[in-house]
Amino acid sequence: MRQRKKRNLDKRLDAASHLLVEHPEQQKGQWRALFEAPPEAKLMVELGCGKGTFVCESARREPDALFIAFDKVPEVLVMAVEKAIREGLTNVRFVLGDAALLEEFFEPGEFDRLYINFCDPWHKSRQAKRRLTHRNFLASYLRLLGVGGQIHFKTDNRRLFDFSVEEFEACHYAISELTYDLHATPAPWNIVTEYERTWSEKGYPINRLVATVTDETAPAPPRKKRASEAAAELSQKEEQPFPGDGQAEQM
Ligand SMILES: C[S@@+](CC[C@H](N)C(=O)[O-])C[C@H]1O[C@@H](n2cnc3c(N)ncnc32)[C@H](O)[C@@H]1O
């Protein structure tokens, strides 16, 4: 049964191969050429694109921009690629790969914007380094974005959001458009992702910010465990889910 499922997935990936980049390391420094686009074309990257709702709608709204979407789960990524094919999009490509490897795939300053939508919260503090907004990731993104580059970040998880604000500040990104309730006022420009729809319908407010790389942005020193985190570990409180924690992993 498992074998049949795998064969079916392989077939679907094969059928979608024209929008899948199998060797992203070979595109390093060449992504715009892959689209036959001019050097000034805006290049946007999404990490953890899920089923592709956000990247496909972004590509539709901005036909002159180029989009590269990453997800590490093939069963999910294939749905995103199939969606782009159904919608006839030509300005988006997909990579089955881990966000941790971005520096192997892009030259410094190669892309303009990074989208991180509803990344896994990794709620235990000993897992903090896996959060895509941990300072180690932020140091890597700043090299790849260059001055003026932006990270657009959304999450329903308030604890992850507060952690992320601290991390962006520690690296001296310029934070703007910060909101703890994105849906409180009409925002027709906002593209609602799959997780955003699910969790906002359950009543969770959506947090969002934009972090811009400036001349001041720089890698931050290693993160020191805060007293509250250490205390949480000692009392094992962290094992108890905080509202919003672990949602990403549950879906
Ligand atoms: C919680 S879901 C959010 C999906 C989508 N962005 C949304 O908002 O609906 C997180 C997605 O990120 C992917 N993901 C998690 N860690 C990743 C990593 N290190 N590299 C690439 N994708 C990752 C997961 O496979 C999953 O599809």
Closest of 172, 177, 176, 178 to residue 214, by C-alpha = 172
206: domain CATH number is 3.40.50.150
Alpha carbons 130 and 137: distance in angstroms, whole number: 9
What is the three-class DSSP state of 4?
helix
pLDDT band at 246 (very low <50, low <70, confident <90, very high): very low
Q: What is the pLDDT of residues 207-223, one digit of tens each?
A: 999 999 999 999 999 98
The amino acid present at 120, given as its one-letter code, is: D
Pocket probe for ligand 1: among 21, 67, 101, 118, the residue whose CB has the most ligand atoms within 8 Å is 118
Tell me, using a 6 A CB cutoff, whether residue 50 lines ligand 1: yes
Task: Retrieve residue 64's tokens.
Answer: 């002159």
Can you list the alpha helix ranges (DSSP code H) found in 47-134?
Answer: 53-61, 74-86, 102-105
- Between the CA of 32 and the centroid of ligand 1 the distance, in Å, is 24
Tell me, using a 6 A CB cutoff, whether residue 52 lines ligand 1: no
- Between the CA of 235 and the centroid of ligand 1 the distance, in Å, is 30
Beta strand pairing status for 92-96 and 66-71?
parallel
Q: What is the pLDDT of residues 77-101, one digit of tens each?
A: 999 999 999 999 999 999 999 999 9
Query: Which domain does 192 fall in, by range?
Result: 2-250
Q: What is the pLDDT of residues 173-217, one digit of tens each?
A: 999 999 999 999 999 999 999 999 999 999 999 999 999 999 999
Does pTM surpass 0.85? Answer: yes
Query: Is residue 120 annotated as a catalytic residue, yes or no?
Result: yes
Alpha carbons 199 and 77: distance in angstroms, whole number: 21
**Is residue 131 pLDDT above 50, yes or no?**
yes
Q: How many domains does the chain have?
A: 1
Closest of 109, 102, 43 to residue 72, by C-alpha = 102
The answer to whether 232 and 163 have CB atoms below 8 angstroms apart is no
Please, which residues have CB within 8 angstroms of residue 204's CB and are 6 or more apart in sequence? 156, 243, 244
Alpha carbons 195 and 64: distance in angstroms, whole number: 27
Tell me, using a 6 A CB cutoff, whether residue 105 lines ligand 1: no
The answer to whether 173 and 165 have CB atoms below 8 angstroms apart is no
Alpha carbons 25 and 22: distance in angstroms, whole number: 9
